[in-house]
Amino acid sequence: MSRQGLIGTLLFCATMAALLFLRLLPLSAGDVRLPGPDLGLCLTLAWVLRRPDQLAAPVIALVFVVQDIVLFHPLGLWPAIVLLGSEAARLREARWRDGPFMVEWLRVTILIGVMMLSYRIVQVLFMMPVPALGQVILQFIATVAAYPLVVLAARALIGLRRVTFTEAEQMGAAR
């Protein structure tokens, strides 16, 4: 892995740690509120679609396993689904690279929907506790709505941008 790839991986891990810390903060004591977006999922998909060379599959799995442990979620189920979804996006990154952002947003929306649906199906099949469908739909809508904001924030704050054609050729030659 190159120096830039290592820096990108460390930056991703630090950003995910900050997002996890924010999720743990007691921002509303006792108030019932709408479910928020999964900003970690948005950031992961945005990163994989912009800098696939900086984010290895084991890093994605490890980050989401740690998140499962800290948040007391079923261990390994969501990380496996996120890993499958992010790798599906990574395989298509070269074809999606030159498309407009609206098309990327639509594709990511479909991918997030498939991921959340498969998570729910596995929960039902294995008789795990399943959250209310309305809450899951609201989280899906919030996550999809947050994706462009996460992409914009990642570009402005972290400098996360798409791979250029020249960089893509150099990555292909380096592999």
Structure confidence by residue, pLDDT tens digits, 126-174: 998 898 999 999 999 999 999 999 999 999 988 888 876 666 666 654 4
Share of the chain above pLDDT 90, in %: 61
Name the residue among 104, 97, 100 with its Cα closest to residue 169. 97
> CA 15, 20, 26, 32 torsion: positive or negative?
positive
- Cα separation, 150 vs 64, in Å, equals 18
Mean pLDDT of the 28-47 span: 83
- Cα separation, 140 vs 154, in Å, equals 20
- Which two tokens mark 112? 């997030």
Mean pLDDT of the 15-28 span: 86
Mean pLDDT of the 56-75 span: 93
**Helix %, strand %, coil % of the chain (to 5):** 75, 0, 25
Instruction: Judge whether residue 21 has pLDDT over 80.
Output: yes
Per the CB < 8 A criterion, the answer to whether 54 and 5 are in contact is yes
Q: How confident is the model at residue 23 (pLDDT cuts 50, 70, 90)?
A: confident
Beta carbons within 10 angstroms of residue 4's beta carbon = 12
Mean pLDDT of the 119-125 span: 94
Q: Which residues contact 40 (CB under 8 A, 6 or more apart)?
A: 16, 19, 20, 63, 64, 67
pLDDT attached to residue 174: 47
Centroid of chain to Cα 95: 19
Instruction: Judge whether residue 112 has pLDDT over 50.
Output: yes
Q: Where are the domains of the chain?
A: 3-21+35-174
pLDDT attached to residue 163: 73
Q: How confident is the model at residue 47 (pLDDT cuts 50, 70, 90)?
A: very high
Q: Which amino acid is at 112?
A: I
pLDDT attached to residue 173: 46
Find the farthest-apart pair of alpha carbons in the chain and give their distance in angstroms, rounded: 55
